[in-house]
């Protein structure tokens, strides 16, 4: 009897969660009390009747998830389609454990952007490892058919505050309350799950376009051929069939093995009676021979020596690592080669990493520590504890500096890219494909000239500028014409100079065609100690708007724009915060708050919001500037080392208020992977 009670009420959580039609953990229409694994990203596409949805879900924290969505629904039978966008937030109140169900609190379209605005409280319990039941209460759209009284005494639900795109706190949990529920059963067929649910969603917006809601029930089958793909077929409300395809990935679960390729140089400790004399260092030619051999070995990993000095007891090496994705791995490879290739008397290694022309961090490592730690079970932790991390000097000074011959200064590439416009008011989900040609000439370490040309292979031509959306200058609202109004576009042509006048202080000066819409000059300064969680920066730009038809002509609009910036590594769940205060492209004054979660392997999800003196009504659609970016390192999916990455911007609108220059390689982006927290998080790769 006790076994039966445990099986019914105390079963452990069962099979993996699935995505519903809104891109969140759920059945079909309704959510569940489950959550995805921390950090998981899911991208899904849904089609039923005349409705399409594209969802991007990210598990922001173990108990917090967010979903971005663009939906296209038919306005009236046979009429035009309407695209809307929205953002959901979910919070896990209880995690399923023993007799306790998983409980979640959720807000759909909580900014009021789309037709799905709703709030809910839902619970899910595993009856057996293969059978789960779900029940909950909902408000808003989730009570639009057959809702009952509101126990909180707020039976009326006021209209959304206009313009939409702002918090709708006067609406939450108001109006009738609806009930929903369902179950999922993992069938004997491997990867196949059956779902059934009942919902109080009236589908009123879709019914206006001809959708029939005959019964409140939905049924579906979900098939997972592997952990990264889900296929779902369903039958909705007794009238409509539909399908869903979802791709998912997790930063902590790379698609490709992480340790392919040549292994590191074997490290053998010095013999106890090894000669410790330093007279060999009196001859400069000995240093040259040593560094030439070390350079040849490091070249196998793509690492180059920019400058170096070796004395009888110390070695200072400045390296450039364009290939290995995790910097601690590159530092470890260099340390091993030095330990094998240098005479026994050299005890101190100082390895400085140069990134995008800037010497950022110096790792001081004792050779005796390396020899004592190699091949030990806790070698990673011990090596981090014995490594001294310092702000780097811009370059070595004094005598006997080894400066190798300059490497190939000119580089170029041609590659396709996919600038996914996920949240487009006019076009809904719009994946374009363009070909970009890049070229760069490195004059000196800190001075370079670079450019980029692009041409759309797939993409809509929008050669007419629409009417102004506000009284502000059209610095972004007519951006479509700059993106697709020309056969070949000059996206960038600049001279860039970066420098470091003293350790932890960096500067940048950029001149030329800065982006698709603006040309001018940009200057920046940054103070960022490698051992501090805080950094301070300032930026000022003078720009003029480019002509639409002539690549090298300018329009009359000019502006000075700039910001003061505070960067903070919170130390909590790899979350970083950035606050920018200043003047924007349209001349409006305000502030931008950015929050990002950056994983040790380069994955990053970033969201930002900008409020300026522009009122909600004047700003128009979206109420204020906001957006999201996802950065995925290609090393996560490829079986070889590369620092390349793919970045997708998920922007609701490109209005004129709160608009910023789209500059490449701002200073903080150049140095952030070499701060103390980033190196510590990735130090497990030191011995790889």
CA–CA dist 672, 569 (Å, integer): 10
Q: For residue 12, what pLDDT band results from cuts at 50, 70 and 90?
A: very low
Q: What is the mean pLDDT of residues 668-679?
A: 92
Predicted confidence at residue 397, as pLDDT, reads 87
Query: Mind listing the pLDDT tens digit for each residue in 424-454?
Result: 555 555 566 677 888 999 999 999 999 998 8
pLDDT at 563: 95
In a domain, 418, yes or no: yes
Collect all residues with Cβ–Cβ distance below 8 Å to 189 and sequence separation of at least 6. Answer: none
93 plus 7 within the same structural domain: yes
Residue 450 placed within a domain: yes
Backbone angles phi, psi at 408, to 5 degrees: -55, 120
Helix (H) or strand (E) run with residue 188 in it: none
Residue 300 lies in a domain: yes
263 contact partners, CB below 8 Å, separation of at least 6:
none
Q: Tell me, rounded to whole angstroms, the distance of Cα 337 from its chain centroid.
A: 34
Lowest mean pLDDT among 299-313, 416-430, 571-585: 416-430
Same domain, yes or no: 436 and 560: yes
φ/ψ of 62, rounded to 5, equals -55, -30
**Can you tell me which residue has the tokens 């769940």?**
573
Q: Which two tokens stand for residue 659?
A: 């608009």
Q: What is the CATH number of the domain that holds 353?
A: 3.30.300
Dmax (CA) for the chain in angstroms is 93
CB atoms within 10 A of CB 488: 11
Contacts of 508 (CB under 8 A, 6+ apart): 496, 497, 498, 499, 522, 523, 524, 525, 526, 666, 667
Q: Which residues of 530-569 are buried (b: 16+ CB within 10 A; e: fewer)?
A: bebeebebebbbebebbebeeeeeeeebebebbbebebeb
| Per-residue pLDDT, 653 | 59
pLDDT of 418: 59
Write the CATH number for 57: 2.40.160.40
CB 544 within 8 A of CB 555: yes
Shared domain for 331 and 473, answered yes or no, is no
Residue 254 forms part of a structural domain: no
Do residues 465 and 447 touch, judged by C-beta distance below 8 A? no
Q: Which of 419, 27, 74 is nearest to 244 (CA)?
A: 27
**Residue 428 shares a structural domain with residue 539:** yes
Residue that is last in its domain, among 231, 249, 267: 249
List the beta strands (DSSP E) in 217-272. 217-226, 229-236, 240-249
Shared domain for 556 and 544, answered yes or no, is yes
Both 96 and 28 in a single domain? Answer: yes
What pLDDT sits at residue 618?
79
Per-residue confidence at 262, pLDDT binned at 50, 70, 90? low
433 and 393 assigned to the same domain? no
Task: Mark whether 309 and 229 lie in a shared domain.
Answer: no
326 lies in the same domain as 390: yes
pLDDT confidence of 469, banded at 50, 70, 90?
Answer: low
Measure Cα distances from 86 to 80, 115, 299, 484 in Å: 20, 9, 49, 26
- 395 & 431 share domain: no
Domain identity same for 329 and 219:
no
Residue 259 has a pLDDT of 56
C-alpha distances in angstroms, 352 versus 263, 307, 373, 444, 669? 22, 10, 21, 18, 18
Is residue 552 assigned to a domain?
yes
Res. 569 pLDDT band, cuts 50 70 90: very high
| 51 vs 348 pLDDT, higher one | 348
Report the pLDDT value the prediction gives residue 14, as an integer from 0 to 100. 44
Asked if the model's pLDDT at residue 460 lies above 70, the reply is no
Query: Are 508 and 523 in contact, with CB atoms under 8 Å apart?
Result: yes
Predicted confidence at residue 258, as pLDDT, reads: 62
Domain total of the chain: 3
Regarding predicted confidence, which is higher, 565 or 264? Answer: 565
Residue whose C-alpha is closest to residue 528's, from 676, 352, 353 = 676
End-to-end CA distance of the chain: 54
Q: Is the torsion defined by CA of 69, 73, 75, 81 positive or negative?
A: positive
User: From edge to edge, which strands make up the β-sheet containing 348-355?
Assistant: 304-310, 314-320, 348-355, 358-366, 388-391
Residue 429 is predicted with a pLDDT of 55
- Which carries the bigger pLDDT value, residue 113 or residue 566? 566
Question: Hey, CA dihedral for 331, 333, 336, 342, is it positive or negative?
Answer: negative
Residues of the chain with pLDDT > 90: what percent?
Answer: 53
If pLDDT is split at 50, 70 and 90, which confidence band does 112 have? confident
Pairing of strands 575-583, 41-48: unpaired
pLDDT confidence band for 10 (50 / 70 / 90):
very low
Q: Identify whether residues 572 and 636 lie together within a single domain.
A: yes
- Residues 642-649 have a mean pLDDT of 79
DSSP 519-565: EEEEEEEEE--TT-SEEEEEEEEEEEEEPSS-TT-EEEEEEEEEEEE
CB 325 within 8 A of CB 642: yes
Distance of CA 325 to the CA centre of its chain: 16
pLDDT of residue 1: 35
pLDDT of residue 426: 54
Does residue 168 form part of some domain? no
- The answer to whether the beta carbons of residues 346 and 338 sit under 8 Å apart is yes
Tell me the average pLDDT across 13-17.
59
Note whether 509 and 502 are within 8 A (CB): no
Confidence of residue 375 (pLDDT cuts 50, 70, 90): confident
Among 352, 377, 406, which residue terminates a domain?
406
Which pLDDT score is estimated for 367? 95
pLDDT, one tens digit per residue, over 120-158 is 999 999 999 899 999 999 999 999 887 787 877 677 888
Residue 686 lies in a domain: no
CA distance 153 to 199: 23
3-state secondary structure labels for all residues of 140-159: EHHHCCCCECCCCCCCCCCC
Band (pLDDT 50/70/90 cuts) for residue 472 is: confident
What's the confidence (pLDDT) of residue 405?
77
Residue 256 has pLDDT above 80, yes or no: no
HSE-up (13 A, CA, CB side) for residue 688: 19
What pLDDT does residue 390 have? 95
Give the up-direction half-sphere exposure of residue 577: CA atoms within 13 A in the CB hemisphere: 10
| Closest by CA position to 212, among listed 43, 47, 49, 354 | 49
Q: Which of 422 and 247 is assigned the larger pLDDT? A: 247
Structural domain for 392, as ranges: 279-406
Domain membership of residue 160 (yes or no) is no
pLDDT of the residue at 639: 80
Choosing from 249, 264, 289, the residue where a domain stops is: 249
Distance from chain centroid for Cα 331? 25
| DSSP secondary structure letters along 352-403 | EEEETTEEEEEEEEEHHHHHHHTT-TTHHHHHHHHPEEEEPPSS--SS--B-
Residue 241 makes CB contacts below 8 A (sequence gap 6+) with 48, 233, 234, 235
**CA dist., res. 258 & res. 213, Å (int):** 50
pLDDT tens sequence across 68-103: 888 888 776 766 777 788 889 999 999 999 899 999
Beta partners for 509?
A: 497, 523
């Amino acid at each position: 009897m006790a076994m039966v009670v445990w099986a019914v009420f105390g079963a452990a959580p069962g099979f993996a969660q699935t995505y519903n039609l809104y891109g969140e953990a759920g059945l079909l229409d309704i959510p569940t009390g489950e959550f995805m694994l921390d950090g998981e990203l899911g991208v899904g596409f849904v089609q039923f009747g005349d409705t399409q949805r594209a969802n991007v879900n990210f598990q922001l924290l173990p108990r917090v998830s967010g979903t971005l969505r663009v939906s296209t629904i038919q306005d009236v039978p046979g009429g035009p389609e309407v695209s809307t966008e929205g953002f959901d937030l979910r919070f896990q109140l209880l995690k399923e454990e023993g007799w306790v169900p998983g409980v979640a609190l959720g807000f759909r379209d909580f900014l009021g952007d789309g037709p799905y605005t709703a709030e809910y409280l839902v619970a899910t319990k595993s009856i057996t490892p293969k059978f789960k039941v779900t029940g909950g209460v909902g408000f808003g759209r989730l009570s639009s058919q057959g809702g009952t009284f509101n126990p909180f005494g707020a039976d009326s639900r006021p209209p959304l505050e206009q313009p939409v795109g702002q918090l709708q706190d006067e609406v939450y949990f108001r109006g009738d309350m609806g009930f929903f529920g369902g179950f999922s059963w993992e069938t004997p067929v491997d990867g196949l799950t059956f779902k059934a649910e009942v919902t109080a969603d009236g589908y009123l917006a879709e019914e206006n376009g001809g959708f029939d809601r005959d019964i409140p029930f939905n049924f579906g089958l979900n098939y997972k051929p592997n952990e990264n793909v889900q296929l779902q077929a369903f039958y909705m409300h007794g009238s409509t069939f539909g399908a869903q395809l979802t791709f998912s990935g997790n930063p902590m679960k790379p698609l490709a093995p992480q340790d392919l390729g040549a292994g590191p140089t074997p490290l053998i400790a010095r013999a106890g009676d090894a000669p410790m004399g330093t007279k060999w260092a009196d001859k400069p030619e000995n240093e040259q021979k040593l560094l030439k051999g070390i350079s040849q070995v490091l070249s196998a990993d793509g690492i180059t020596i920019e400058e170096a000095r070796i004395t009888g007891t110390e070695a200072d090496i400045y390296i450039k690592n364009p290939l290995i994705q995790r910097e601690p791995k590159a530092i470890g490879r260099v340390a091993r080669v030095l330990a094998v290739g240098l005479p026994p008397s050299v005890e101190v290694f100082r390895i400085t990493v140069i990134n995008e022309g800037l010497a950022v961090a110096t790792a001081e490592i004792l050779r005796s520590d390396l020899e004592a730690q190699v091949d030990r079970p806790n070698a990673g932790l011990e090596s981090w504890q014995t490594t001294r991390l310092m702000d780097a000097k811009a370059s070595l000074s004094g005598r006997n500096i080894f400066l190798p011959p300059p490497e190939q200064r000119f580089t170029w590439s041609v590659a396709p890219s996919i600038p996914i416009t996920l949240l487009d008011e006019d076009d809904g989900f719009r994946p374009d494909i363009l070909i970009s040609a890049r070229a760069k000439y490195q004059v000196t370490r800190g001075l370079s000239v670079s450019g980029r040309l692009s041409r759309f292979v797939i993409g809509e031509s929008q050669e007419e500028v629409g009417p102004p959306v506000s009284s502000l200058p059209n610095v972004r609202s007519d951006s479509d014409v700059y993106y697709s109004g020309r056969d070949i576009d000059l996206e960038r042509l600049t001279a860039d100079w970066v420098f470091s006048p003293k350790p932890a202080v960096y500067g940048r000066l950029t001149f030329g065609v800065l982006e698709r819409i603006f040309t001018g000059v940009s200057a920046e300064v940054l103070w960022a100690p490698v051992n501090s969680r805080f950094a301070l920066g300032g930026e000022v730009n003078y720009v003029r708007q480019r002509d639409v038809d002539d690549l090298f002509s300018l329009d009359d609009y000019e502006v000075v724009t700039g910001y003061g910036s505070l960067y903070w590594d919170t130390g909590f769940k790899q979350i970083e915060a950035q606050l920018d205060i200043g003047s924007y492209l349209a001349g409006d004054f305000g502030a931008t708050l950015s929050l990002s979660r950056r994983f040790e392997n380069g994955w990053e999800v970033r969201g930002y919001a900008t409020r300026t003196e522009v009122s909600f009504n004047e700003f128009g659609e979206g109420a204020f500037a906001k957006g999201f970016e996802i950065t995925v390192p290609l090393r996560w999916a490829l079986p070889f080392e590369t620092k390349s990455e793919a970045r997708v911007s998920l922007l609701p609108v490109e209005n004129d208020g709160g608009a910023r220059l789209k500059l490449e390689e701002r200073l903080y982006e150049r140095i952030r992977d070499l701060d103390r927290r980033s190196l510590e998080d990735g130090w497990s790769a030191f011995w790889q």
